[in-house]
């Protein structure tokens, strides 16, 4: 079954508001997590990552939070802009090796003007 | 610096035909992977490679073959296409880094339809 999943297939937010996209994972051995953004007709684009020894990591307008107790990951986007409209995937790298990533199904972020 | 380049961008096949999806990267990455993406789904790993001459199966390998003769190229072969292989295919590459980081960089995808 799915090791990594997202709670909502679609999230609609007002432009300028903050967005929070959630992800649940089930493999406690996972030690590294990545968020990707995929725009229509394009390949996934790296946004931010976090290791399992961290609880929080910040980038430019984005923050990833990791709660290992409940196996939950979230992506926060501050001051959402029209260009943020895309599908967002969380992915896990279970063993830190090169055996690829396990992706969730994705959340489609829709920006309302 | 082109990154990860996939060709062709679009392809239509008839059931039973064979073809090769090309993937090339110019970042000197050791690791390369192939994924497929179906509507409403996340990406699923087909095959991956940790270096030239080394490949292994991912989550959904059936119906696909790969080889890795050079660091730069990682072609994906469909020997006898089936309608169930209609999908968007993504190639990715990543560098080996200390620790567990495995940031994968993706190509733009190949959209394949099998009739």
pLDDT (tens digit, 9 = 90+) per residue, B16-65? 999 999 999 999 998 999 999 998 778 999 999 988 999 999 989 999 99
By C-alpha distance, the chain B residue nearest A102 is B44
How far A103 CA sits from the closest chain B CA (Å)?
A: 5
Residues A8-32 pLDDT 10s: 689 999 999 999 999 998 788 888 8
Contacts of A43 in chain B (CB under 8 A): 4, 90, 92, 106-109
A34 to B103: CB separation less than 8 angstroms, yes or no: yes
Give the whole-angstrom CA distance, residue B84 versus residue B77: 15
Q: Nearest-CA neighbor of B45 among B92, B2, B85?
A: B92
Give the tens place of pLDDT for each residue, A23-79: 998 788 888 899 999 999 899 999 999 988 999 999 999 999 999 999 999 999 999
Residues near A33 by Cβ (< 8 Å), separated by ≥ 6?
Answer: A25, A49, A50, A52, A64, A66, A73, A90, A91, A92, A93
A57 within 8 A of A74, measured Cβ to Cβ = no
pLDDT band at B77 (very low <50, low <70, confident <90, very high): very high
Q: Alpha helix locations (H) across chain A?
A: none
Cβ neighbours of A34 in B, within 8 Å:
102-104
Q: Could you give the CA distance from residue A28 to residue A49 in angstroms, rounded to a whole number?
A: 17
Are the Cβ atoms of B107 and A43 closer than 8 angstroms? yes
Does residue B98 surpass a pLDDT of 60? no
């Amino acid at each position: 079954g799915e090791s990594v999943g997202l709670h909502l297939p679609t999230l609609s937010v007002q432009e300028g508001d903050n967005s929070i996209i959630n992800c649940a994972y089930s493999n406690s051995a996972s030690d590294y997590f990545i968020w990707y953004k995929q725009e229509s007709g394009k390949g996934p684009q790296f946004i931010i990552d976090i290791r399992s020894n961290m609880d929080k990591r910040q980038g430019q307008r984005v923050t990833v939070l990791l709660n290992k107790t409940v196996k939950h990951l979230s992506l926060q986007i501050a001051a959402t802009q029209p260009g943020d409209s895309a599908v967002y995937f969380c992915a896990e790298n279970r063993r830190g090796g090169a055996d690829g990533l396990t992706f969730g199904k994705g959340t489609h972020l829709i920006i309302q003007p | 610096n082109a990154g990860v380049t996939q060709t062709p961008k679009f392809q239509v096949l008839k059931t039973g035909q064979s073809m090769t999806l090309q993937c090339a990267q110019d970042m000197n990455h050791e690791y390369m992977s192939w994924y497929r993406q179906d509507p409403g789904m996340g990406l699923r790993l087909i095959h991956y490679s940790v270096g030239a001459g080394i490949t292994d199966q991912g989550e959904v390998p059936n119906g696909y073959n790969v080889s890795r003769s050079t660091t730069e190229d990682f072609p994906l072969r469909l020997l006898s296409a089936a309608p169930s292989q209609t999908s968007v295919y993504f190639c990715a590459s990543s560098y080996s880094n200390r620790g567990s980081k495995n940031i994968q960089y993706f190509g733009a995808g190949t959209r394949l339809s099998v009739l």
